Amino acid sequence: MKKLLKLSRNRFFLFNSIFIINSLWFWRHVNLSGKGFLPGDDGDARFTTVLYEHWYQFLTGHTGLSQTLFFYPTQDTLVFSDSFFLQGIVHSVFRFTGINVVNSWLIATVLLQLFSAYSAVVMAHKFKLGTLPGAILIIYWGYNSTMWAQSTHVQHVMYPFIGWILLAGYGFVHAQTNKRRAVYLTIVLNLLLVLALSSTYVFIFSLLYGLLGLLMYLILSIKKNQLHGSITKTNAISFLKTAFIPIILSLPLVLVFLKIYIFDTTYRTVRGFAAVSFYSPTFTDVFNPPFDNLLFGRILQKLFSYGLPGTGEPGMGFTPTFLAVLFITSAMVMRKLMKVNRTVVIIPMALLLVVAIVELLILKDARGFSFWSLTFEQLPGFSSLRALSRVHTFQYMAGALAIAIILNKYIIHFGPLKRVGSLRLNQRMVALVMPLVIITMIVSESTPNIGRWTAQDMHFVKIAKGSQADFKKCKSFSVVPSDVQIGKRPIFAWLVDAQVLSMEYSKPTLQGYSGGEPTDYGIDISSTSQVLELSIKKTVESKNLKDSCLLLPVQAEKIKTKWRVVPIIG
């Protein structure tokens, strides 16, 4: 017993060491002076900073729960995007200590990613994984290719957070008393609500996979006649008694969720068909088409010089095709050679089926009959989920967990000099070769960083001192770049500039960039600078806005950006 406890402690220490080394390497460029960088682009970084800061403004009494300063004068506009509840609360803690906006955003993002990713360490220890399977889970659960490519898009930091929900669910299933079940159920419900308020993408994908997994479990249980004894009146009453207190304790977060995503939806609309279709999963995603793919990117470039249809999002670190080969091969080998029960064969096949169902059902352009059109498009607050291909990150993590568990079973099975048919395989050889093969395949398929962002980029939108006096007279404003400037930077970047200016000077802006926009928005951002300016003036006139201004960016030699303020008489 003492030997087992010592082995467990040593393994847990090793898992923590792997996590620390990996985390230090991942965040090695972070520098609070603004000289370091994070993977991703400055648009996502600046936009999410605005949403973080909203929570600080709310907690200090300067704005309402759902009332951001963009899309003015539309009310309750937080619902147009991920609300980033947990991220914003942690950000606010550092803002209260006097740390500036950008550094608070950076610290909150790093801390939450570390906390979320650490769930893999606890899972590896709790599930009693071996050293190598545990290392694979820790490395690829919180530091997959999406995090390496776009950590500035902070909804990604909540994907690994699912690990804590899985651990709480594991505790609930294995609890021996009703009191402990109630405690774990309370944790599960509140963590799910925190997830729903912090990243709607992860929450929706979790529900989708969870419901499909539950359906498959019920089908398998019915097939084995295992449900008949468990579904009784006594058991149902017992469960309701256990769930009563957890439900009561989760009501505060339920009310916050209902307020943001259900009640504040008067002016909801969604992105157009083209945008959602472009960011939806495609059949080519099975082959991980991004040209910067390290495994076969060059081959794709030569075969398809005209380009491949892509989603605009980072591809999976390993493809569904690779997962399929791994699962099917593992199931066949374990069924044939290890003489295990049929469940080991059924589960990998079921996982493959789930992946296929998810890929197909959430397609926007499936002739109107798709999971997206039946749910996201109908549910208030969720219809702004436009980049549905982000389900790949969820599949990545599910695949990493499956690989770790299956690999662990292999290593346990292949003991020293274990006979397999006419072969004798040494445990050390299998334990060494198989993980190396898997790690090599995963690493070689990973997508490298797609961009770098530094805190200095935030200074790009600061107003020149000479314009501040005029800007203070404006009750609201809009940013109108020239056609040349729009050619150099996409229009969405200028819209995010407007949001950052709004945040820094506490001035509402008519403009905004988010998952959706108000139905009465009325501002045309798809054409020329002149059309943009005219549509803004019409909006100001139609909504009878007083003292609204246009901010025209002017390039200067010594000042990176200077603004000419033009008042509009509403």
Helices vs. strands in the chain: H and E counts, helices first: 22, 7
Ordered DSSP codes for 63-84: S-SS--SSSTT-S--GGGS---
Three-state SS for 380-449 is CCCCCCCCHHHHHHHHHHHHHHHHHHHHHHHHHHCCCCEEECCEEECHHHHHHHHHHHHHHHHHHHCCCC
Beta-carbon neighbour count of residue 234 at 10 Å? 7
Which residues 6+ apart lie within 8 Å of 524 measured at CB?
531, 532, 535
- Which residue ranges make up each domain of the chain? 2-42+122-151+206-222+265-445, 462-568
Q: Which two tokens stand for residue 471?
A: 């800007």
Alpha carbons 314 and 149: distance in angstroms, whole number: 7
Question: H/E element holding 452?
Answer: strand 452-453
Q: Which two tokens stand for residue 81?
A: 């995007």
**Nearest alpha-carbon partner for 326 in 318, 314, 337:** 318
pLDDT tens digit at each of 570 positions of the chain:
565 566 677 888 889 998 998 888 888 777 766 666 777 777 788 888 999 999 999 999 888 888 889 998 888 888 777 789 999 999 999 999 998 888 899 889 989 999 999 999 999 998 888 888 888 888 888 877 667 667 778 888 889 999 999 999 888 888 888 888 888 989 999 999 999 999 888 888 888 777 777 777 777 677 666 655 555 666 667 777 777 888 888 899 989 888 887 777 665 655 555 666 666 666 555 555 555 555 556 666 666 555 444 444 555 445 555 555 666 666 666 666 555 555 555 655 565 566 656 655 555 454 455 555 666 565 655 666 677 777 777 777 877 787 787 777 777 766 554 555 544 555 566 656 665 666 665 555 555 555 666 766 666 666 655 666 677 788 888 888 888 888 888 888 889 888 988 888 888 999 988 877 787 788 888 878 899 988 988 888 888 888 888 888 876 544 445 666 676 643
Which residues 6+ apart lie within 8 Å of 325 measured at CB?
none
